[in-house]
Amino acid sequence: MSATDVLHQHRRPIEKAARAGYVARGAVYLIIGYFAFKAAYSTGRAMGSKEAIGTVFGSVGGVVLLSVLVVALLAFSLWRFLQAGLDPDRHGTGAKGLFVRTGLLASGVSYGALALFAATLAIGAGSGGGGMMHDGISMAYAAGFGRALTLAAAAIMLVAGLAHIFKGVTAGFEKYMRFPADRSWLKPVCQVGLMARGLTFLLLGFLIFTGAVSYA
């Protein structure tokens, strides 16, 4: 059975999976935005980097949000894998289509890796020890994930942040959508939104990197 046949026979479940995937993506951005805001507030109070990171992830609410973040990351990772394999967006099997689908597959792997990293942070934060981010990273090291996974998670966030800022500055989204003449104001709104999201990713990537360096 081809991917096209699967799409035709299971259209409604796939539509529901798409909605769930993008709801999960929205949840990821909301939670990351909360952590970024809390980090900015904490670091603005003359704290050291370890203390600021502990403040962000150390509360009960932080543990709960990290747990929700793990589920959301896994859900969106699964949707990316479905996009790459079943091709509901119909990118096709040409060179360009395969390139896009490979990117979707890589995105799924990246979100899965972030889910694994967030899970180690949630477990470390929930253990009640001091320096919550530090404890989570310690667990990643102890579990054999080590420095490579920690730095990879930071790199993913930093690259994603730079990519979103670039898309915002260059308005790269225009190749996929057209704005009505009477709604030209939507373009700068989209640009600002993408750049703000990019800055959020950069901040979280910096926090993860700082935690890794602090542990080392």
Give the pLDDT confidence of 170-192 residue by residue, as tens digits. Answer: 887 777 677 777 777 888 888 88
Overall average pLDDT of the 61-75 stretch:
79
Residue type, 90: R
Residue 89, both tokens: 């967006």
- The 10s digit of each residue's pLDDT in 53-67 is 455 555 556 677 778
Residue 68: pLDDT above 60?
yes
Dist CA 145 CA 181 (whole Å): 51
Work out the percent of the chain whose per-residue pLDDT is above 70: 64
Query: CB-hemisphere CA count at 13 Å for 203?
Result: 22
Dist CA 120 CA 81 (whole Å): 23
pTM here?
A: 0.59
pLDDT at 8: 58
Which of 36-50, 66-80, 82-96, 149-163 bottoms out in mean pLDDT, i.e. has the lowest?
36-50
Q: Where are the domains of the chain?
A: 3-215
CA distances from 183 to 179, 191, 196 (A): 6, 14, 21
Q: Write the burial class of residue 15 (CB in 10 Å: 0-12 exposed, 13-18 middle, 19+ buried).
A: exposed
